Chain A
Amino acid sequence: MGIGIRIENLRKVYDAPPPMAGGGAGFSFAAVRPASKEKSPRKFELVALDGVSFEIRAGEVFGLLGPNGAGKSTTIGVLTTRTQPTSGRAFIGEYDVWRQQVQAKRLIGVVPQRPNLDFALTAREILTFHGAYFGQGARVRARRADELLEKFKLTDRATHMVRTFSGGMMQRLSIARAMMHDPEVLFLDEPSAGLDPQTRLLLWEIVRDYNRLGKTIVLTTHYMDEADTLCDRLAIIDHGRIISQGTPAELKATIPGGYLLRLRFDRVTEELLVDLKKLPGVTEVRSADQAFVDVYADRGGPLIGPIVNTAQAAGFELRDVHIAEPSLETLFLHHTGRSLRD
């Protein structure tokens, strides 16, 4: 049966910049926050994970969704033994990832954010040596390597050194390598970043197929559509904290009203906000600055007319309208006040 994952109150504070493409790739460094004010401001401190707990059930596709620097890669780093947590614990199946690394490593396959292929080897050798590291016999690893090369359409480049490969080919080979020893849990860190649409669809298909074998899949992404179509359950992470978790449908249902209308006026006053709140179907009105108003409502387009009328009656000029349908994007906006792409 499949393997589940449990994370308990995980905290990670970096005291030096995390290595690129390692556990902490993609940090925007905007999240640098000194732990206490007495400490010297020059000392580097980056709180990457701040008390993260969640559970991933055996055999599900679980997504970690969040913007760059949210802590997704650090979470993956901890779960794959590559990052030492400052405190808290993580379990793959029954094994404590930090204390029983070897047992945990046997259960997992990892597709990194950026391909980290062994440049001294050919494509086929990368797979066969990987199999050998996991104790596969010569015949088994030769057969499996050929199968995977075929499946990932790399057979004709099998004997080439990988430094000549395109980004997409490297990514495919990384996934093939992660599957080589048939792991129970597959981690994919931003698997579709930089992939062309066709390869992306192939990737999704491969992930679903692998999941059908009863394997647990953990992926991080900042693409809403990917999280929406691929994941059974999601956790939304920002600034090292889990903001919300559940199935995509559950999460979308928590957005007040469902629709989000982003309005821009020539100016915004309290009265305007109060007037907008009174409109039919409006559940919440927020204003972040002098010109923008976010209106959460149970309808989208039909509300435009009343909004225009209200604004005109009160002497305001509506300059721009954007309607977002119920989606994880609006959910993220609702929880963090900023877009995933910010």
Chain B
Amino acid sequence: MNWKTFYALLARDGHVARRNLLPTLLQNLLQPLLFTFVFGKVMTTSGMMPAAYKSMLLPGVMAISMVLAGVQAVAMPLITEFQFTREIEDRLLAPIEIGWLAVEKIVAGMIQAMVAGLVVIPAAWLIMGSGVRLDFGKPFEFLLVALLVALFSSAGGLALGCSVGQTQIGLMFSLVVAPMMMFGCAYYPWSALESFPILHMAVLVNPLVYASEGLRGALVPQVPHMNTLVVIGALAAIDLGLLYLGLKKFHQKAVS
């Protein structure tokens, strides 16, 4: 392990991310914030949704923003860099084991996911106005869940980015990301699915469910949510699985 090289690789990704800051923020945050405005502001103010929905919605929007940010931060550049231009080659030739390059990508993705999550809290709060009741009484639980969500998103981005070709990006978003968001319990709590027993169980394969429910448990414990230990266990298992898969795929892509 060579910290100088690792840090230089991270600095390169940070430099590129800063250069693309505005488009990246818009790409990851506009959609969740528009959703927040329509459902958290328009629908609640007009009385079509109860005001308590605001507090329930915010952690879900945060989960979606984090996951989108992490997946995109890792997957999109990787897909480009691994295609025929092989832009990544220069970094593969850097004096460090190539597995560390994948780890560096994950760390960079996690940082971006955390930033996206932290930006969403005040932004959504401002949009929805009064009536949002957040509880910061469990900072360590919040931090742990947020880190596990960030790791899930960027390790997932690594696995996706190394499995998907440039021509399949659109397909990836409509087949993987869109259903994940709709059935990720972001816009409603998991308990709301109790009237749909099959769906109630089926969505448990969706990692976003644990992300939304975990952040709900940490930020708005007054809203019904999944047991935090279950959430942490599930996220940790998913993280390890995606990490293994992502690193393996990365090796296959990197070495011919």
Which residues in A have some Cβ–Cβ distance to B below 8 Å?
Answer: 14, 18-24, 77, 80-84, 101-103, 105-106, 108, 110, 112, 114, 116-121, 125-126, 129-130, 132-135, 177
Contact = CB atoms under 8 A, between A and B. Distances in A.
Contacts, number: 96
Given A21-B84, A134-B5, A105 B255 contact: no
Contact of B9 (A19, A21, A120, A133): A133
A108 B89 CA distance: 14
A133 B89 CA distance: 13
A21 B15 contact: no
4 A-B pairs closest in CB distance? A132-B8, A133-B94, A116-B86, A116-B89
A117 B256 contact: no
Contacts of B256: 14, 18-19, 22-24, 77, 82-84
B53 to A, nearest CB: 40
B135 to A, nearest CB: 40
Contacts of B92: 81-82
Interface string B1-26: 01011001101100110010000000
Contacts of B84: 19-21, 114
A101 B89 CA distance: 14
A229 to B, nearest CB: 28
A102 B2 contact: yes
A166 to B, nearest CB: 15
B95 A133 contact: yes
Contacts of A177: 90
B11 to A, nearest CB: 7
Contacts of B96: 102, 133
A110 to B, nearest CB: 6
Main secondary structure of the interface of A (DSSP, over half): loop
Interface in B13-46: 15-16, 19
B97 interface: yes
Nearest to B3: A135
Interface residues of B, number: 29
A25 to B, nearest CB: 9
B91 interface: yes
Contact of A82 (B11, B89, B95): B89
A93 to B, nearest CB: 14
B93 A105 contact: yes
B85 interface: yes
Contact of A21 (B2, B85, B95, B98): B85
B12 A110 contact: no
B86 A129 contact: no
Interface string B219-256: 00000000000000000000000000000000000011
A112 B89 contact: yes
B87 interface: yes
Contacts of A110: 89, 93
Given A21-B84, A80-B93, A110-B93, A133 B8 contact: yes
17 contacts: A102-B2, A102-B97, A108-B93, A110-B89, A112-B86, A114-B85, A116-B90, A118-B90, A121-B15, A125-B15, A130-B90, A132-B4, A132-B11, A133-B91, A134-B5, A135-B4, A177-B90
**B16, B94, B98 — most chain A CB neighbours (10 Å):** B94
B87 A118 contact: yes
Contact of B95 (A102, A118, A120, A125): A102
Nearest to B84: A20
Contacts of B94: 105, 133-134
Nearest to A110: B93
Given A101-B97, A105-B94, A132-B4, 17 more contacts: A20-B84, A21-B85, A22-B256, A24-B256, A81-B92, A81-B93, A83-B256, A106-B95, A112-B89, A114-B86, A118-B91, A129-B12, A132-B8, A133-B8, A135-B5, A135-B95, A177-B90
Interface string B65-103: 000000000000100100011111111111111100000
A114 B144 CA distance: 44
A116 B88 CA distance: 8
A181 to B, nearest CB: 9
Contact of A129 (B8, B77, B85): B8
A84 B85 contact: no
A103 B15 CA distance: 27
